[in-house]
Structures are given as C-alpha cells and as structure tokens.
Amino acid sequence: MRIFGARVVDCPSGPGAGVPSDETAVYLTRLADICRAAGLDVVEVRGWKRRGHGPMTAVKTIVCHHTAGPKKGNMPSLNVITNGRPGLSGPLSQLGLGRDGTVYVIAAGLAYHAGQVRSSSYANAYAIGIEAEATGVDPWPAVQMDAYGELCAALVRAYDLTVSRVLGHKEVCYPVGRKSDPNFSMPDFRARVTKVLKAPATVPVGTPAQIFSAVWARDAVKGSWMTPDNPTWAAQSVVVTTFKDQVKAADAAKAAARALPAAAADARATTAAATTLRGTAAALGATATPVAADAAQTRAAADRSEATLAALQASVRTSMAEAVKAAVETSRVRVRVTVRSRSAAAVPPATNPSSATGSAPHPR
C-alpha cells in the first residue's frame, strides 16, 4: 500500500503571506492551533513540531489525499504516514484525518506526499498535504467529510489562499491520471469549502464549569504580582459564591429560554381564541338586533290584543246589561197583564132591573 500524506503549513498569515518575499524556510508550528480554532478535534503526534524533511519554503497549495488503507479503524495508517514505508521515509504528510473527523497533526516540516507534479507551486516545498483515512472505494462518513471541508477552510483562511488552491492529488500529479485520490468530486468539495468560509465565524467557548476549572482550579502560575496569602491562585470563597450565583443565573436564563417557545405558543393560542370570541360576540350582536326588533313587535301586538280584549269585555258587559234590562221590562209587562185579567174574571156581571122575571135579587 502506498501512502501519500496531506500536510498543514504554518506560515505567517495575512495578504501576500502565501509566498514569503524572501523565500525563507518555514516550519508550520501553528497547525494544531489553527485546527483547534476551527473547532476540530485534534491529536498532536509526539514530536510533530520537529518532524519533517527539512523546512517548508512557503504555502501555496493544499493537496487532498486518501490513504487507500485498511477498511476498519479510525486512523490505521497513522504509523505509516508518520514513519514512512520501505523505500520512502516519513513523514508522508503534515496532517491525517480520521474517519471520526479527528485531525492528527504529524509534521511541521516538509513531507513527501505530492510526488511528481505538473507545477512547482504544487510541490512538497509549497504544498500542505492532508491524508484522510479511506479505502478509496467505500462511502465516506459524513462526519469525516464535514471535518475535511472545515479543515481545508481553516487552512485557506490561515494562509491567505483562495479556494481554487484546494486541489486533489489526482489534479496536481504528473503525468495526468497517475493518481486517483481522493475518490470524490473536487469541484463539489471546493463548493463545500466555500460554504464553510462564507458561514459566520464561531469562537469555541467553554462551559462556565470548564472556564472556572481552567482559571482557578488548575492555575498555578507564579509571578511577582502574586500575593503571599494565595500563591497558587486558589479559588476564594467570594469567587466560588459569585461563580455559583452566575451558574444559577445562567441556568435560570436557559430555563426561561426553553420555556419561551411554549409561552409564545400559548400567547398565540390565546390571541386566536380572543379573535374567535370577538367574532362570536359580533355574530351574537348581529343576531340580537333582529331579535330585539321581533320582541318589540311582539310586545306591540300583545298591547293591541289586550286593548281589543278590554274593549270586547266592555262591549260584552254592556250588551249583557242591556239584555238583562230588556228582559226585566218584558217580565213586568207580562205580570201586569196577567194580574189585570184575573181581576176582571172575579167581578160578577151587573143585573138588569128590568128583567122579565121581575124578581128582586136575593141578598147574600
């Protein structure tokens, strides 16, 4: 198995820093710091700052490789990249990239990774090589590809390069076609690097507990400014109390932030319910107006009915009184006629004195 490494260069940064004007020799001793500043997990291989086939000249190119190594393991090719193989001494790259996205910082000096190339700016003296652990045929883990793009973006930014200077071994080798690594599309990969560069920069910040531990629990720096009563900067009670209060406040703020979406949802639900209620009230109001009108009409009709009934009752009473009076008068007439008739029948007829018998009436 032939291993070619991908290395990270540590030249002065800033405009024009990619190629020092005096072509001075350079060891890339800031590689680990550059990677950590990008938020990558970093493992520093022992002795990396002194490892290399002499110094670099400058940084003009970043060359991406894959190891074509074993199928299993996170970085099984690390020993070969660091120490070389028969016929080619190490280091074979400045950087290694494990399958889990961990960056291995291997060498600060020149590494044998590029071989024969089409341009001197791609040569080992000017090229940072990154050797990523991969078989060359199996799919790449997403976490490894993400770290690959972030690593190249960090190097582009640190050494003032353009994304066009991020090239695959298959793009720089001579003759063309001599190499096939890495086995993914380099235009797509450069687009990934560009996307990382355009994203807002983030600064890794430790948790309050980590900061407290780093500053107080493990800080044993001595100096003339140290007070005799606290030579190792041990945490004082006031600091501990303040820290605990700050942690509580931070926890409370986080809890409030977690509760905020729910509160906002409740507020939106309440607003929606209020809107619905207002609509219902408006509908009820619109319905109440004709109902009130109907009620007024009903009351008016009832009033008219009551007046009609009162008039009818009065009329009935008047009619009944008149009928009774007429009946009474009629009865009186009949009684009088009857009495008179009976009286007339009781009176005997008068005797004619000139009767033919000539006899006088007999007294009773």
Task: Give me the pLDDT at residue 210, please.
Answer: 63
For residue 355, pLDDT beyond 70 = no
How many whole angstroms separate alpha carbon 343 and alpha carbon 337? 10
Selected residue with higher pLDDT from 213 and 107: 107
For residue 195, pLDDT beyond 90 = yes
How many whole angstroms separate alpha carbon 9 and alpha carbon 247? 40
Query: Mapping DSSP to helix (H, G, I), strand (E, B) and coil, where does residue 132 land?
Result: strand
Task: Give me the pLDDT at residue 44, please.
Answer: 96
Task: Give me the pLDDT at residue 312, please.
Answer: 80
Give the number of other CB atoms < 10 A from CB of residue 4.
Answer: 24
Selected residue with higher pLDDT from 321 and 141: 141
Rg (CA), the chain: 59
Lowest mean pLDDT among 99-113, 173-187, 213-227: 213-227
Lowest mean pLDDT among 115-129, 208-222, 249-263, 319-333: 208-222
Q: Which two tokens stand for residue 201?
A: 């920069």
For residue 253, pLDDT beyond 70 = yes
| Fold of the domain spanning 31-198 | Lysozyme-like (3.40.80)
pLDDT band at 271 (very low <50, low <70, confident <90, very high): confident
Q: What angle do CA 202, 203, 207 make, to 5 degrees?
A: 120
pLDDT band at 189 (very low <50, low <70, confident <90, very high): very high
Task: Give me the pLDDT at residue 238, please.
Answer: 45
Task: Give me the pLDDT at residue 335, please.
Answer: 52
Q: Which two tokens stand for residue 337?
A: 């006629």
pLDDT band at 140 (very low <50, low <70, confident <90, very high): very high
Percentage of residues in the chain with pLDDT exceeding 70?
72
For residue 88, pLDDT beyond 60 = yes
Place of tokens 């009108």: 293
Residue type, 231: P
Looking at the chain, list the stretches that DSSP marks H as alpha helix, in order from N- to C-terminal side. 31-37, 78-83, 142-158, 169-172, 186-198, 208-212, 237-346
Selected residue with higher pLDDT from 271 and 201: 271
For residue 223, pLDDT beyond 50 = no
Selected residue with higher pLDDT from 288 and 231: 288
For residue 107, pLDDT beyond 90 = yes
